[in-house]
Amino acid sequence: MEEKEETRNWLLKNLQEYFDVETSIVVEKLKIASIPIKVDSVFVDHKPDLYGPLWILMTFVFTLNIVSYISHLLSQTTEFYIENFVFSVTISVFCMFIVPALIHFYLSWSGMTVERAWVISTFAYSYCNFIPAATLCIIDYEILRWIFVMLPVATGCMFLYAYVVKEKEDFKGNRKLALIAGGASQLGLAMSIQFYFL
């Protein structure tokens, strides 16, 4: 029983620093990730956080499921399955946390020293535009939906290019791999929204 308590305390102690962040910093990171036109050093100067990425994940999952349900109501198919919710959580966690963790694992394996929390945090912030895109997908017009789900992919890749390829020197020769993996996971999320939820 004491081992479980010690493990829990160790986990909380190690993760606590990534949730100890000011709201103004998270808002600034969201602004920069949403419109990645100018490169700002807020992602490089401040310590990585997991607070913003966790809220991006939860907000996206709930927004996507609500929009999916309303979309099905409007198209006269009132079926909504719990599997949709489970799938949205699974694909979102995979894209926002597992893919960056695998990128970090590969970079560490190839001898580079990149902080795991920075990789996960930066990649997760690149998904923030999927929230308004999912909301706009309530409009039942196919071409517009394609535009709405592809715009976050473009802005996410621009953001990753600005912060992973240009700004972070630790990636060295593996910058393209990180960008391709990030872009592919964003494209996968966009395709799952388009084909599975709408």
pLDDT tens track for 52-78: 999 999 999 999 988 888 887 877 765
The pLDDT tens digits for 12-49 are 777 788 888 888 889 988 988 888 887 666 666 678 89
How many domains, in total, are found in the chain? 1
* Cα(6)–Cα(11) distance, integer angstroms: 9
Neighbouring CB atoms inside 10 A of 191's CB total 14
Half-sphere exposure of 171 (CA within 13 A, CB side): 20
Higher pLDDT, 7 or 193: 193
Q: Which residues have CB under 8 Å from 143's CB, separation 6+?
A: none
Q: Which amino acid is at 115?
A: E
* Cα(55)–Cα(50) distance, integer angstroms: 9
Task: State the average pLDDT for the chain.
Answer: 83
Whether 106 and 174 have beta carbons less than 8 Å apart is answered as yes
Whether 182 and 156 have beta carbons less than 8 Å apart is answered as yes
The domain of 55 spans: 2-33+40-197
Tokens at 73, concatenated? 């109501």
Tell the residue number behind the tokens 């992973």, with chain if given: 164
Helices (H), the chain: 2-19, 23-34, 42-45, 51-74, 82-93, 99-109, 116-125, 130-136, 142-160, 175-192
> Looking at residues 175-196, what average pLDDT do you find?
87
Task: Determine the pLDDT at residue 189.
Answer: 92
| pLDDT over 60 at 1, yes or no | no
* Cα(33)–Cα(95) distance, integer angstroms: 16
Task: Determine the pLDDT at residue 131.
Answer: 94
According to DSSP, residue 113 is labeled: -
